[in-house]
Every structure is written in C-alpha cells, then in structure tokens.
Amino acid sequence: AKTYNVDAMVPDSAATAFAMFSGVKTDYYTMGYDASIKRGDPESMFTAQEVKTVLEWAQEEGMKTGIVTTARVTHATPAALYAKTAHRDWECDKLIPKGGPDGVRDITAQLVGSPRGQKIN
C-alpha cells in the first residue's frame, strides 16, 4: 500500500486517518474532502467535494457510533471521522483565518453542532 498524501510524499495523520476512514486520499493537513481541497484555504471548502467516512456510513444505517482515543477528540486523527476542514489545526474558531467566508466551522463546532457529531452515541 502507498501511504503518501495526494500532494506530499510524507503524509500527516489528518489525511492518512481520513483515507483509512473513507477510502479516499486527500491533501496534506486536510480532512473530509477529496483532493480538490486546498490546505489552509477556507474558500476551497465550498468548492471541494465532501467525502463521507465510516462513521457517517454507520450512522446512515442507524448503527450506534463512538470514538475511542487517547488524544483529544478534536486532534487530527479522531477528528478525521467527523470533521470537514481545510486545515487540521482549526480546532477552535480563533485559529481559522480572519476575513474568510461565512459558514466555515472549526473542528470543535463540528463535533458538537453537526449532525455527524450529534449522532455519536
């Protein structure tokens, strides 16, 4: 198996975890989108294709879901199950670039406010 990201030979855990959870490779430092996402570019979140993960597939089938982790739940590896973001470090709204488009939600907000996060049971 080849473990690189679509745009980097040495991968990071956000994109590699996302590939394991979805079956789709993406860009370095991103999760939740196909390879058209641009790292650190909030605008690209509105044009890139969102990709579902095993968490979403299970929820759609009415299964109970959960996350077991020794890292904080908003860290890149566990967050790759539920978050859709152009940068793995956008764990809170203060870290998202100012002046970006409305509707960009940080990783924590997605965990507590998105249907994906709210259905973790």
For the annotated catalytic residues, the residue numbers are 13
Q: Would you say 77 and 71 are in contact if contact means Cβ atoms under 8 Å apart?
A: yes
Tokens 């077991």 correspond to what residue? 68
Burial of 81 (0-12, 13-18, 19+ CB in 10 A): buried
Left, alpha or beta for 114 (phi > 0: left; psi -120 to 50: alpha)?
beta
